[in-house]
Structure 1
Amino acid sequence: MELIHTFFNWEILVESFPILLRGLGNTIMLGCAAIFFGCIGGLILCLMRLYAPSWLRYLAIFYIDIFRALPILVVLILIYYALPLAGIRFTSFTSATIALSMVLAAFTAEVCRAGIENISKGQFEAASALGLSFWITMRKVILPQALKVVIPPLTSNCVSIYKDTSLASVVAMPDLLKQATDAQALMANPTPLIGAAIIYLAFLWPLVRLVSYLEERGKQQHSR
């Protein structure tokens, strides 16, 4: 009973729930912003790596390799704590968005590259024979087909980014984990952290199942 009273105190959970919901709202906004900018940046990096002049191609490869290797926490700390030394300051939300977007862009670029390279070269040749420009070919022929391949791993990366939003608490952004930590300190009880864990699970578990469904459907379509 003492364990339940300490870690699953219903009164404290109910009292802290509005605080946790505010943190959840910030977490969702942060995740959506990071995914939006990260996916756009990743597609641009992918096209640079595949079709840009050689110096831009090597620059894209360098970026992708670096940010796939760096932990998100290190990138976040550098942006929030190191850049002010150079006179560049961002809010905690902006810093977290930039850090998450930069890392996601690197992984998205590799996923998109694999998807585009999975398309037969005959598709490019057929589009060229029809007189389609490069950008129209990419937009109307290549990317719609590549999308079927990249959706499962891309969705998986997005789920990972939502989990990594918890790192924003390091720079005092009031996300779900930060609000739970503050509530724990205020109420002198770890129940708010358990509540945050339950909310993370309820929010992310359907997304994890969605990834599994997309992967299974992709396998079925590929086997036909």
Structure 2
Amino acid sequence: MLDFTILSENMELFLEGFKNTLIVSLLALIGSFVLGTLIAVFRIAPIKPLNWIGAIYVEFFRNIPLLIILFFIFVGLPVLGVRFSGFQAGTIALTIYTAAFIAEAIRAGVLSVHKGQTEAARSSGLTYIQTMRYIILPQAIKIVIPPLGNQFLNLVKNSSILTIVAAGELMYQGDLISSRTFVTFDVYIFVALFYLIITLPLSFGVNRLEKSLAKSN
């Protein structure tokens, strides 16, 4: 049986961690979507240097651990005089890391849109950027809603790594409560439940959005 006194006596810490996890996840979600979309456009742009920048970004950040990125920002950059708090470093690391995966998902969506639409838009006088913004990207994002939703869920779960830099999110508060109470199993069950409060509605919302977009098509 779970000891619910652990939850009630430490509710303030659990809620503080829950709030911080929500904030960092929301900030990183917005940032990674914007950055990932930009990198995806770079990868398919008719300009070779932009293609190279996009490809290097994706292959580099997609193939190194998130922990390495976090340590570089939190421990490495201070050597150069650039300092971030654990919360800031964690948000930046999550944004940079997740953007590489989002970029690939959006690029796949763009490539699935018929090339004739790009040609028609350009022949009607739209610039490349206008074609991407108004014609191609809206269709591509609709197509890749499921993989984007999975990346957003992964982002929320990956936020637990911020406990390494004492960012104050759920896992950090769980570790703190566990060290104070000498209770492990119950504490992390409650931490898991708080994560589910975030991820289950997000998963449900993505599924509903996917079905709504499918009906509209």
**Same-fold call, TM > 0.5?**
yes
Question: How far apart, in 2, do the equivalents of 1:126 and 1:52 lie?
Answer: 16
Tell me if 1:203 matches 2:202.
Answer: no
Question: How far apart, in 2, do the equivalents of 1:117 and 1:11 lie?
Answer: 54
| Amino acid paired to 2:74 | Y
| Amino acid paired to 2:169 | D
Question: How far apart, in 2, do the equivalents of 1:124 and 1:10 lie?
Answer: 58
Residue 193 of structure 1: CA displacement? 2.1
Residue 59 of structure 1: CA displacement? 2.1
Deviates more, 1:134-143 or 1:207-216: 207-216
| Amino acid paired to 1:207 | L
Q: Per-residue displacement from partner, 1:131-172 (whole Å, max 9, x unpaired)? A: 222222222211121121122111110110000000000001
Q: CA, structure 1 residues 126+52, in 2 after alignment: closer, same or farther (shift >3 Å)?
A: closer
Deviates more, 1:122-131 or 1:58-67: 122-131
The 4+ residue runs of structure 1 with deviation greater than 6 A are none
Q: Report 1 or 2 for greater relative contact order, CA contacts < 8 Å, sequence distance ≥ 6.
A: 1
Q: Which one of the candidate residues 57, 72, 83 is aligned to 2:51?
A: 57
Question: How far apart, in 2, do the equivalents of 1:210 and 1:167 lie?
Answer: 25
Q: Per-residue displacement from partner, 1:23-68 (whole Å, max 9, x unpaired)? A: 0100010001111111111111111111152123112201100111
Residue 212 of structure 1: CA displacement? 4.6
Alignment of 1:1-224 (within 5 A): 4=1, 8-51=2-45, 53-190=47-184, 191-213=186-208
Structure 1 unaligned residues grouped into runs of 5+: none
Question: How far apart, in 1, do the equivalents of 2:6 and 2:50 lie?
Answer: 55
Q: From the CA coordinates, give the structure whose radius of gyration is larger.
A: 1
Contact 1:16/1:192, CA 8 A, preserved across alignment: no
Deviates more, 1:68-77 or 1:23-32: 68-77
Residue 214 of structure 1: CA displacement? 5.2
Question: Percent identity, aligned pairs only?
Answer: 34
Question: How far apart, in 1, do the equivalents of 2:159 and 2:38 lie?
Answer: 23
Question: How far apart, in 1, do the equivalents of 2:97 and 2:86 lie?
Answer: 17
RMSD over aligned CA atoms reads 2.0
The two structures have a TM-score, normalised by structure 1, of: 0.89
